[in-house]
Amino acid sequence: MKTLNKYLCCAAALAAAMTAGCALTGQNNQAALPDLAPRQLAEIRHTTALSTNPARPTVALVLGGGGLRGFAHVGALRALEEAGIKPDIVVGTSAGSVVGAAYASGMDIEQIKSAAMNVKVSSLMDFTLSSSGIMRGNKLASWVNTMTGEVPIEKFPTRFAAVATDLQSGQAVLIDQGSAGRAIQASSAVPGVNVPIAYKAGHLIDGGITSLVPVRFARAMGADVVIAVDIYCHGPRAEGLGVPTVLSRVMQTQSCLVAAAEMAEADVLIAPKVSVPSMSTRQSQEAVIQAGYEAARAALKKWRPHEKS
C-alpha cells in the first residue's frame, strides 16, 4: 500500500510537470489481455442466482478508492474481524481493490499491513514513453500476483471482484475472473498517469471514475447485507488556492457527487475522516489505519441488523 500510494503520488506529480512543460510521444503498444473479461452491472444481475438461505444472509464488504487513504481499509478490516463479521463477498475499487484482493486471497490483517508497509517504492515504478500515460502498471500487477500467491480470482477462498471503468462506453465494469494483478492494474489505472489497460473489447481505467464505492455491484453479486468503506468523500478537503489544490478539490467534489447515491444504498457505511499530508512515515500510516478502525467500530455500534446474523 505504501508503495502504491507513493507510486500514484509520484506519477501524478510527473504527469503535472509534463503537462506544464513538455509532451510524451509514442503509442500504447500494450496488447489486449485474454485474462480480462469485464462485465457490466446488468449482466451481473442477470447471471446471479438469488439466495436460497434466508436465515443466513450473504454479506458483502465493499472497499472504496482513495489512493493515499487506503491504509484505512486495514483498520476497518480489523474492526470487522473483532466484531465477528466475515464477508462472503469482497468488492473493491482502485486502492480498495488492492486491499480487497489481499484479504479475499486469504491473507490475515497483519500480513496485509506488513505487505503494505514494507514493499519498496522503486519496485512498482515502470515508466514508459507513451502518449496515453507515463506508467504501465505491470510491476503493480506482478506485485499483487506475488502477494496473492499467483492464484486466479475465481479460486480465492472468498469471492472477490475488482471494479474498473470501460473507457469506450464510460460504464463501470466488474472483473471477477483471471489474474488478480491484471484486475487491480485496471482498477487502479489513473487517467493521464497510467496507460489504459487493453482487453479484447477496448480499454479499462480506474474504477473510481464511475463507481468509487461499488455497492451496486455487491448487490448484483447476491449480497443481502452490504458493508461499505468510503475513504475519500467524508474526510477534510485540501485547503489553499494553488492550482494543484484547486484541481484536487474539484476532482474530489465531482467524484463524491457521483458516488453519493450509490454509497447511500449500503446497509452500513464506514467513513473515516482521513487526511493525508504525508504517508512517508510509519506513524502517519498507523494513524490512518487507526482512523479506519475507529470509524468501523463506531459505524457497527450504530448498526442494528434485523436478525441478520
How far, in Å, CA of 292 to CA of 306, rounded? 25
Q: How far is the first Cα of the chain from the last one, in angstroms, to the nearest whole number?
A: 32
**From the CA atom positions of the chain, what is the Rg in Å?**
18
The x, y and z cell numbers of residue 194, run together, are 497510467
Asked whether 188 and 162 are in contact (CB, 8 A), the reply is no
What is the H or E stretch that residue 162 is in?
strand 159-166
Catalytic (active-site) positions:
94, 206
Query: Within its chain, how far is the Cα of 282 from the centroid?
Result: 21
How far, in Å, CA of 5 to CA of 280, rounded? 10
Asked whether 249 and 237 are in contact (CB, 8 A), the reply is yes
Three-state secondary-structure class, residue 297: helix
Asked whether 63 and 99 are in contact (CB, 8 A), the reply is yes
Task: Outline where DSSP puts E strands in 10-119.
Answer: 39-40, 59-63, 89-93
The neighbouring-strand residues paired with 40 are: 173
How far, in Å, CA of 148 to CA of 142, rounded? 10
Name the residue among 95, 105, 101 with its Cα closest to residue 71: 95
For the chain, the maximum distance between any two Cα atoms, rounded to a whole number of angstroms, is 61
Pairing state between β 172-175 and 159-166: antiparallel
